[in-house]
Amino acid sequence: MKLLAYTSPARGHLYPIVPILEELISRGHRAHVCTLPGELDSLAPIGVTAQAIDPLVEAIEIEDWRKRSLPGGARSVLRTLSSRASVEAPDLARAIDRHDPDVLLIDVNCWGAATVAEASGRPWAVYSPYLLPLRSRDAPPFGIGLRPRNDRLGAIRDAIGRPIASAGFDRLAMPSINRLRAQHGLPRLARYDDLLARSPLLLALTAEGFEYPRRDWPANVRLVGSLNWAPPEPAPRWLSELADPLVLVTCSTERQRDERLIEVALAALPAAGMSVIATSAAHDPRAFRTGPSSRVVRFLSHDAALRRAACVVCHGGMGITQKALAAEVPVVVVPIGRDQLETARRVQVAKAGVWLTPRRLTPARLVSAVRAAIDRQAGAARVSRAYAAAGGSVAATDAIEAIVRLPAMRGGL
């Protein structure tokens, strides 16, 4: 079996599927990926062939960090994904002609690639490394991190809020998606939920235990747990020089207004007797002042740090949040935008860490939040067990093989 995967230009959307590709190769299948040009060499050692996505896709950057409000940021992201879609579509079509795959695996953010995948008539699957914004009678409206409620007031709140929460996706995303679908002879869709239902398989890279349990998951959704990977990298020598307790602080690999996480952590945590390792990612590490109990680097394989970390402080991106919890490390989430309010709420509900709002991010409050999170390590361990029970890359690969064996499922539901 030959699989062709297509990702958006983000490490956080490539790395989570690498364990699936490894599992496929271990079963004798072949895997090819269209992804970030800077990551091609990291895939070769595991037997994955790769090519760069069209440079025009990567050039269309997400710029929600320029917006001052959550709605403004959300609109900006949706416009970016819409702009990329028109370039992704021919890019994937060329890759299909070149590789003639038996099955396609498409990033949930790649609406153009998904359109071409559906129109191809081949078995295809979508994967989502973040929480799915699906309507459910068992979960609150998606977007602003509402707490689940099972009482009458909660039912009223959710009934009113669900159409409002979905309106942004439906109004801003669907017109451009439908124009592209029409160009490929596909039917018009009314809602974003309908788009997510089109693929024979939708792999959600999380699990109940972190995600809210629900009785109405669509038939094509398979929750397989958190999948974590990073290019192998030896632990830096200086890591052993930092004393316990150690706190890992991370910023997003895609630019956001999250540099203050590092600034406040460096000001607060060493003075409270904690060591700090911070990964600045999109920010210049030289912009931060460090002392003998702290270190700031642009990138670091988080695995070595997580083996020692007592807590992770992050913006609430699903990648680092789930990686920490999978390692049984509790988190302090300071959500900046996007879906991070939802991530923060789930951390809180799972009792696997603490939600601290950006407005309340002060040195004293951060120290208190980290200490409170450390006391919730048992919650992080429960989430980790839920991820493992979901089956991971083995369950995901089983599901992909199943849609290839079922020709009646080709071309969408």
Round to whole Å and give the CA distance between 180 and 186. Answer: 9
Residue spans in the chain of domains classed CATH 3.40.50.2000: 2-225+390-409, 237-388
Round to whole Å and give the CA distance between 161 and 167. Answer: 10
Per-residue pLDDT at 70: 65
Structure tokens at 163: 């159409």
Task: Provide the CATH number for the domain formed by 2-225+390-409 in this structure.
Answer: 3.40.50.2000
Per-residue pLDDT at 281: 83
Domain formed by 237-388, architecture:
3-Layer(aba) Sandwich (3.40)
Which residue is associated with the tokens 């995600």?
A: 211
Round to whole Å and give the CA distance between 379 and 146. Answer: 20
The low-confidence residues of the chain, meaning pLDDT below 70, are: 62-75, 407-413
Structure tokens at 22: 């490894």
- Rounded to the nearest 10°, the torsion over CA 269, 257, 239, 367 is 20
Round to whole Å and give the CA distance between 283 and 287. Answer: 8
Asked whether the beta carbons of 267 and 290 are under 8 A apart, the reply is: no
Q: For the chain, first and last CA: distance in Å?
A: 22
pTM comes to: 0.91
**Which phi and psi angles does 128 have, rounded to 5°?**
-125, 115
Asked whether the beta carbons of 115 and 177 are under 8 A apart, the reply is: yes
**In terms of DSSP H, where are the helices of 126-221?**
152-168, 174-183, 192-196
Q: Could you tell me if residue 32 is left (phi over 0), alpha (psi between -120 and 50 degrees) or otherwise beta? A: beta
Structure tokens at 215: 């009785």
Per-residue pLDDT at 413: 35
List pLDDT tens digits, range 83-136. Answer: 899 999 999 999 999 999 999 999 999 999 999 999 999 999 999 999 999 999
Q: What is the CB-side half-sphere exposure of residue 361 using CA atoms within 13 A?
A: 23
List pLDDT tens digits, range 163-219. Answer: 888 777 788 888 989 999 999 999 999 999 999 999 999 999 999 999 999 999 999
SS3 83: helix
Residue 355: in which H helix or E strand, if any?
Answer: strand 353-355
Asked whether the beta carbons of 335 and 358 are under 8 A apart, the reply is: yes
Strand segments (E) across 229-348: 246-250, 275-279, 294-297, 309-314, 331-333
Structure tokens at 271: 């003075």
Structure tokens at 382: 């429960």
Per-residue pLDDT at 211: 97
Structure tokens at 71: 């709605």
Per-residue pLDDT at 22: 97
Beta-carbon contacts of 303 under 8 Å, excluding residues fewer than 6 positions away, are 230, 327
Round to whole Å and give the CA distance between 298 and 411. Answer: 42
Other C-beta atoms closer than 10 Å to the C-beta of 353 total 32
Per-residue pLDDT at 304: 87
Per-residue pLDDT at 72: 66
